[in-house]
Every structure is written in structure tokens, then in C-alpha cells.
Amino acid sequence: RGGPEAFDPKRLLEEFVNHIQELQIMDERIQRKVEKLEQQCQKEAKEFAKKVQELQKSNQVAFQHFQELDEHISYVATKVCHLGDQLEGVNTPRQRAVEAQKLMKYFNEFLDGELKSDVFTNSEKIKEAADIIQKLHLIAQELPFDRFSEVKSKIASKYHDLECQLIQEFTSAQRRGEISRMREVAAVLLHFKGYSHCVDVYIKQCQEGAYLRNDIFEDAAILCQRVNKQVGDIFSNPETVLAKLIQNVFEIKLQSFVKDQLEECRKSDAEQYLKNLYDLYTRTTNLSSKLMEFNLGTDKQTFLSKLIKSIFISYLENYIEVETGYLKSRSAMILQRYYDSKNHQKRSIGTGGIQDLKERIRQRTNLPLGPSIDTHGETFLSQEVVVNLLQETKQAFERCHRLSDPSDLPRNAFRIFTILVEFLCIEHIDYALETGLAGIPSSDSKNANLYFLDVVHQANTIFHLFDKQFNDHLMPLISSSPKLSECLQKKKEIIEQMEMKLDTGIDRTLNCMIGQMKHILAAEQKKTDFNIEKILQACVKVCAYVRKQVEKIKNSMDGKNVDTVLMELGVRFHRLIYEHLQQYSYSCMGGMLAICDVAEYRKCAKDFKIPLVLQLFDTLHALCNLLVVAPDNLKQVCSGEQLANLDKNILHSFVQLRADYRSARLARHFS
């Protein structure tokens, strides 16, 4: 701080030297201390090692002493066990001898005819008396009857008296609710022949006052739950006692109840009988499911199944006969009630060779076979009837699933299905189709009312319901059996048969529609209509009629069927107009009117929303242009986009309809 002149290097050197000397002295001092500590540590380590060696030696000595003590203890224990065996060998015969002596004493009392021992006269010692009499009873069984008949009789009598007393004591204890006393008496009775009677008494008294509700099944479940909680505290074999109680409930209480419920209506009311049978069987199986949670032995499933079978076997053997018989009569009644409400007497459709022949002829020729009948707009199809039939069948399938043996289930379900097919598909839908076909007028009828599309609409709706029930209720019952293919085949045949009749009816209905259009055109349009300037009513009426029928078709069908039928109607409609236009000769003004008519028809064709139909009328409209185009432009028009691909004869046929076709100029331009 004072500058370079103030710095003294000698003084700095002295300071360094002094500090180094101090550090050296300190290092020597610390080094001596370390050496001293190392010497002390080595000394202590030697002392510790010596001490450890001494401890190891003393441990070895102690271990040897322990081994000697263990051997000595084992030797003493062996001696004690041997002595115990010897004592037991001496004591057991002695105890047996004492016991035999007592039994001989009691036996002598029976032999003398006077029971003096306190064990027989004191009612509080009934347990000891029971043990003695039970042993005497076993001994008496081995004695010869001729010499000891009297004493055997006395022992048997006392055995019986004690057994009755014990059962009475058990009964009283049960009424008092003394579980511990019941357990003691039951343990004594276990070795008596009357033990089963003790169990019977317990089961009988358990059921006293148990059935106070209106639901016997709920009462039985509550009873079994209550007994299950206490039976283990009373008997040494609780599962056997509980199983016997359940067997008693099923074979006496439930069987009697089921019989009362079913026998009353078995012959008089099949509907109520089937409902009761289904309900009772369901409630019984539900009770069985609740009882499965209890310990009833090894195979409780088989045990409970046998009990259920014992109750219902007489009713289940002929169940399907009752079911099918009732379903047939009920279905027939539903149909008959419907036709009666319509004041309709069903016609006989007929079967066999003649009907088959008629059907084949109708399919190939589309001719109405037999006189046409007036149905007055009635389709003879009822959704209410169908719902009732399907509901009855649904209930039958549910009962069949519950009440049929698993091996018989597919066969029984198939029988119910055939009844549904018979009454719904054949007696109702097929009959309505036949009646509808017979009600379709001939194609040349005037002002014909066409109701067959209403039949189609209702038949489609009904068949959707039928198909839903087939999938929802029949399929689960037959899905894993050979009956599946049989049912599918039968369903397929029914569908094909009905589709043929629907196709035939639709085809004939379309013919009638075209016939109606012909009548309109014939009545409203004269030969001279295209040669005068007036608004043609025929086109307006035809278009109105077509629009009405298109709307009806759309409302009567669904899916691709709508497009298919509309396409067929559109093609026939186009053919009718095409052929109708071919009947006239057209002046220039008449050709303009024809073009106007076809333009209206083309607007009508747009309502079909079928590309092919619209294309046909577009082409027809282009052809009509040939009726008015100047002769010099004919070739140009014919080679246009819409007409270029048409056959030349078609083009020529339209040109020939022109009133001026005979002129040399026109013939020259078109040749």
C-alpha cells in the first residue's frame, strides 16, 4: 500500500521460516501421538483375541454339557414312555374289567327283575342310563333267546322307554328353544335306533307355523335359511338333516300344493293349466337355486333335480301334447273370431294336384284362374290377429324352454313352430294372398279398384314380425340341434311360396294399372286430337293416375322391392305411351302437342326416381322431335346424342307418323 519502496523481502522470508519450524514441531508432536495410539490399539487387539479364544473354549465345554444333557433327557423320556405303555397295558384291561363288572351288576338287576341302581331311578342321570342300556342292549343281542328271553325283553323294554324319554326331552327342549340341551340329547340318541325319529320330530316341529304367508315358496326358503343357521349347533351331521328337511318340504308340502293348483284345471281349462304349470315349475326351480347355497352333501344338484322331477313328472310327460293342442285350438279361435267380425266365410283354397297345377299355370301365364271376387277393399290381414298369434306362440316357446327335457327341447320347439306356420303363414297370410289374387280384376276391366298392394304392404309388415320371433324365440332353442336346418328349410319354403304369390299379384296389378291407363287414353284421346290445337286431357289424367300408383307402391313396399316394382311399372308405362303414339298421324301442330304430352310424361317419370325409366322417356321425347323438325334437319337430329344409337327402323317408324311423310321432299331427306 506504501508502494514498492515499503516492501521488505527479508522480513517475509523470516516469517516463512518461522512458520515452517512451527509446522515441523507440530508434525513431530502429532507423529508421536499416533505411534502411541497404534501401540495401544495393538495391545488391546491382542487382549481381545485372547478373550475370544477363552470364550470359544468355554462355549465348546457348554455345548458338550448340553449334548450330554439332551442324551440323558431322551433316555429318561424313553423310559417314561415305556413305563406309560406298561401302565396303560395294565390299566386298560383293568378299566374294561371294571366296566364289565358294572355292566354285569346292571345286567343282574335286569335278571333279578328289580332295578335298584341310582342311574336307573334318578331321572337326572338319564344320559348315563342311556349309555348303559345301549351297551346292555348290544350285549343282549348276542345272548341265546331260549335261556335269556325274559331278560332280553326287559332290556329291550327299558331301551325303548329311555329312547322315548330322550325323544320327549328333545321335543321339549326344541319347544323351549334350548339349543344346548337339544345338542346333548341328540348326541346321546345318535347311537340309538330312534335317532332318525329324533330328526323327524325336529323337522316336523320346525315347520309348525312356518307357512303363514300366501307364498309357500317364499315360506319354504325362509324356513330352510333359518334351519340352516341352527342345525349345525344341534346335530353332528347337519347336511343330512337339512337335506331331509328339504326332501320333506318338497315331497309333502310342495307336492300337495302343486297337485291342488293343477288338478283342478287340468281337464277343464288348458290355458290356465299351462300358465299354472309354468308358474309353479319356475317358482320351484327358483327355490331350488336358493337352496343350492346350502351344504346338502356331495351332489346337491342331482338331489334337488330329483325332488323337482318327483313333483312334476306326471305333468311334464305329456306337457307338449297339452301345449300343442291348446295352441292349435287357440290359434283357430283367434282366426275364426277375426273372420266372424268381418262377416266372412273362408273359401276353401284347396290342396293337392289340381291346386298345384293351377299354381304352375298362373306362375307361367299370369292368368287369373277362376272367377274374380270383389273383396270390397278388405285385405283379410290383421295386425291385431298376428300380434295375438305371435304372443300365444311366444308364451308357448317360453313354456317349452322351461318345461321340456333338454333332449326333447328342439323337437318340441319345432312342433310349436309348425303350428305357427300353419295358422299364421298358411291359414292367414297365404289365405289373404290367395283371396287378394282372386280379387285382382282382369287387365281390361274399367275403373278397377286395386287393393293387392295393400295386401303386399301388410304381408311384408307381418312377415317382419314373424321373422323377428323366429330369430328371437325359436333360434335359441334349436341353434345347437339338427332341427335348426329343418326349421330354416321350412321357413325358406314358406318365404319362397309367398314371394311367388306376391310377385304374381304385383305383376297382375301392374297389368291392371296399364289397362286403366289404356282406358283413359282410349276414352279421352281421339284419332284427330293431334291434328287440332287443344289441350289434351288424356295426358293429364294418365299422369295423375300414374303418380297416385307410384305413391301407393312406395307406401306398400320397402327396400329394393320399391325400385324393382317401380322400374317394371315405368318400363310398361313407357311401352304403353310408345305404342299409343304409334297409332296417330301428326301434323306440325299435332307433333308439338305430342311433344308437350311426352314432356308431361317425362315429368311424371321423374317421380319414379329410376334412372332407366327417365332415360326411356328422354329418348321418347327426342323421338317426338322427329315429328316437327324441318325435313332438311332430319339427318342431323337422327345423328344426335340421344338418337344415334337407336335402330334405324325405330327412327323410320316415327318419321312415318308425320302427315307430310308422303311428300317427295321428306322421303328424299330421310332416305
Q: For residue range 548-574, list pLDDT tens digits in order.
A: 999 999 988 888 889 999 999 999 999
- At 372 the pLDDT is 52
Handedness of CA 106, 112, 113, 115 (dihedral sign): negative
Residue 89 confidence (pLDDT) above 70 = no
Nine-digit cell at 356? 298345384
For 411-432, write each residue's pLDDT tens digit: 999 999 999 999 999 999 999 9
Residues 542 and 199: their CA atoms lie apart, in Å, by: 94
Average pLDDT estimate for 226-233: 88
Mean per-residue pLDDT over the chain, rounded: 83
Average pLDDT estimate for 184-194: 78
Average pLDDT estimate for 293-307: 85
- At 70 the pLDDT is 87
- High-pLDDT (> 70) share of the chain, %: 80
Residues 394 and 520: their CA atoms lie apart, in Å, by: 50
What backbone phi and psi angles, to 5 degrees, belong to 449? -90, 125
Residue 363 confidence (pLDDT) above 50 = no
Cα–Cα nearest to 596, from 611, 576, 606, 581: 581
3-class DSSP assignment, residue 658: strand
What backbone phi and psi angles, to 5 degrees, belong to 658? -70, 140
For 457-506, write each residue's pLDDT tens digit: 999 999 999 999 999 999 999 998 999 999 999 999 999 999 999 999 99
3-class DSSP assignment, residue 348: coil
Cα–Cα nearest to 386, from 312, 299, 466: 466
Average pLDDT estimate for 519-526: 80
Cα–Cα nearest to 420, from 449, 393, 394, 454: 393
Residues 281 and 258: their CA atoms lie apart, in Å, by: 9
Residue type, 604: C
For 558-614, write each residue's pLDDT tens digit: 888 899 999 999 999 999 999 998 888 888 888 888 899 999 999 999 999 999 999
Residue 352 confidence (pLDDT) above 50 = no
Residues 566 and 555: their CA atoms lie apart, in Å, by: 12
Strand partners, 586: 658
What backbone phi and psi angles, to 5 degrees, belong to 525? -120, 120
For 27-66, write each residue's pLDDT tens digit: 999 999 999 999 999 999 988 998 998 899 889 999 888 8
- At 168 the pLDDT is 84
Determine how many CB atoms are found less than 10 A away from the CB of residue 337. Answer: 11
For residues 654 and 626, the answer to whether their CB atoms sit within 8 Å is: yes
For residues 162 and 126, the answer to whether their CB atoms sit within 8 Å is: yes
Model confidence band, residue 192 (pLDDT cutoffs 50, 70, 90): confident
What backbone phi and psi angles, to 5 degrees, belong to 115? -90, 105
Residues 484 and 478: their CA atoms lie apart, in Å, by: 5
How many residues make up the chain in this entry? 671
Nine-digit cell at 214? 300366501
For residues 608 and 565, the answer to whether their CB atoms sit within 8 Å is: no
